[in-house]
Structures are given as C-alpha cells and as structure tokens.
Chain A
Amino acid sequence: MTGPLERVLGAFLADTAAPRYGYDLMKAARLPSGTLYPLLARLEKQRLVESAWDTPEEQGQRPRRYYRLTGEGSRVARLELAEASARRRRAPARAGRPARESPG
C-alpha cells in the first residue's frame, strides 16, 4: 500500500459515516488534487468508495460531489491500515536486531 493511499484511507476511517468532499480529503490526507482524484477514481472503480452529488444549500452554488467508504471499503481499509501499521512496527525491530556472528 502506498503512502498516499494509506493517508486517504486514514482520512476516511477518521469518520466513516461522514461524507467527504474532495477538498476535505485533500486537507485531511495532505495530498494535492492531482494525486487525490486519480486515487479516488481507482477506489471507486474497485467499489471501495462510493460517491454522490449533494444539492447546494444556497442558490447559485454548484453541487459538490462527496465520497464515502462502502461497507467492503471500510473493511478493506481497516485491514490494510492494520497491516501497514504492523509492517512499520516490525521494520525497526528487524533493523535493530543484532547481526548473526559468522562461524569461525
């Protein structure tokens, strides 16, 4: 799992019920639009994320598109983040392990 994907999934999981706009996700995941939107498109294609258009509250405003994790997306995101976190925990431990002594 790439860093940007991890951050986007983390942003979604911070509040799974809340619909997230592209700009909100950009801020939460600290990703530029050119990285975020292709990622969202990919997640949507994999049916991990679903999107819908909201109706603007004020007249003259444009409708905005929001994204939400699907049930499957929520499950996969939790699993992936847990695995990534476990990998990170293992990595320094392996690096800190003393090198085996060579025989003889």
Chain B
Amino acid sequence: MRAERPLLRIGEYLVGRACQQLPRRIREQRYQEWVAELPVILHDPQIGPAPRRVVRMLGYAADTVRGAALAHARAHARWTAVYCLLLVAALAVVVWSIVVIVGAPGDLLNYVRLAWGVLLAAFPLSMLMRSAWRVSRLIANGATCVGVAVNIWVAAQSPADWVNYVGAALLFLLLLATLIFGWVRSQETRTRQARR
C-alpha cells in the first residue's frame, strides 16, 4: 500500500496519545498491544478496498483515545471536576478582562490581567489534556508569577487596600510551595532512577 508507513505513524501517534492517559505501569504494554493491531487492520482483506482499510485503522486508533480518556475521566472524576471548575473561573477572568479592556484600552494592567486569565485557563486545560507534567508546572508557575505581579500592581495603585497585599502574599506562597514540591519530586525521581 502506498504511504503505508506515514499512515501507520499517524495511527501510532494516536495510540501514543491514548496511552498517555493510562496509568504508567500498563502504558508500555497497552501501547505495544494496540500498535501491533494497526498493520493487521491495514492489511485485512475482509474490510475491502485500501481507503476503507485506512479509515478503519485510523478509526481504531482514534477510538483508543476515546476509551482511554473515558477510563481516565472515570478514575479521576473528582480531579476532572476541579479542573473544569478552575477552567470556568479562569474563562470568567478572561471575559471580564476583555470587557474591561474594551472600556479602557489605555490601561496596561488590564492586559496583564488578561494574560493572567489566559494562563489560568491554560493550566486546567493542560491537566485535562494530560500534557507533560513539566509543561503544566511551567504554566502554573507562570500564572502564579503574573498573579503576584497583578496584585502588587493593584496594591501600588491603591496602597490603602490590604486585600491586594494578602492576595500577592498568598500567590507568592503558592509559587514557593509549587517550586519546593517540584524540586522534591524531581529529587525523588532522580533517586529512583539511580537505584535502578
């Protein structure tokens, strides 16, 4: 079949995406199992002409993504709900920032607030899409940094309002906690790898 290799690559990519959502201990095994079926489907004479076999093979690979996503959502229903709530809140911040920008386009703070909202929305999205932990952590740290900047900025504009100081301090503590947690986790991973 023409373009067999690239087509199989697409299938393998989809299966890889599906396996990203599975627990680490079974990920490799499932990947090997599902990927082994791709060439079999692509050469199955019972399916019919080549285009139909290609569609079937890609459908098979795409459906593993659906199945794995459903299984993952079922297993982590509580966290999925938390991330969905976070996403809704962040989108509200984005919409509100846009509305404020339209009202006062000259104020730079509103643009920074919009950037904060976008980063806040990106974090739950990255968690829901099971991006690499490094990416999610980078987004979370970025969002926290921008949040601290926004709060300090607002505090500078109205020094009498103590809420802004508390907000900035809380976000700063959150950033510190995330960085410490990330460092401890990376140390643990390094120790585990060294033991192997």
Contacts and interface: CB of A to CB of B under 8 A. Distances in A.
Q: State yes or no: do A and B come from one complex.
A: yes
B35 interface: yes
B65 A63 contact: no
Interface residues of B toward A: which range? 20 to 34
A64 B37 contact: yes
B113 to A, nearest CB: 40
Contact of B33 (A34, A38, A65): A65
A33 B36 CA distance: 13
B34 A22 contact: yes
A71 interface: no
Given A23-B41, A38-B70, A32 B63 contact: yes
B63 A34 contact: yes
Given A32-B59, A33-B60, A22 B67 contact: no
A62 B36 contact: yes
B187 interface: no
A35 interface: yes
Pick from B35, B36, B64, B71 the residue with the most CB of A within 10 Å.
Answer: B36
Contacts of B35: 62
Interface of B: 30, 32-37, 39-41, 44, 46, 59-61, 63-68, 70-71
Interface of A: 21-23, 26-27, 32-38, 61-65
B102 to A, nearest CB: 43
Pick from B30, B35, B37, B65 the residue with the most CB of A within 10 Å.
Answer: B37
Contacts of A21: 37, 40
Given A34-B67, A64-B33, 11 more contacts: A21-B40, A23-B37, A27-B46, A32-B67, A33-B34, A33-B60, A33-B61, A38-B70, A62-B32, A62-B35, A65-B36
Contacts of B41: 23
B60 A26 contact: yes
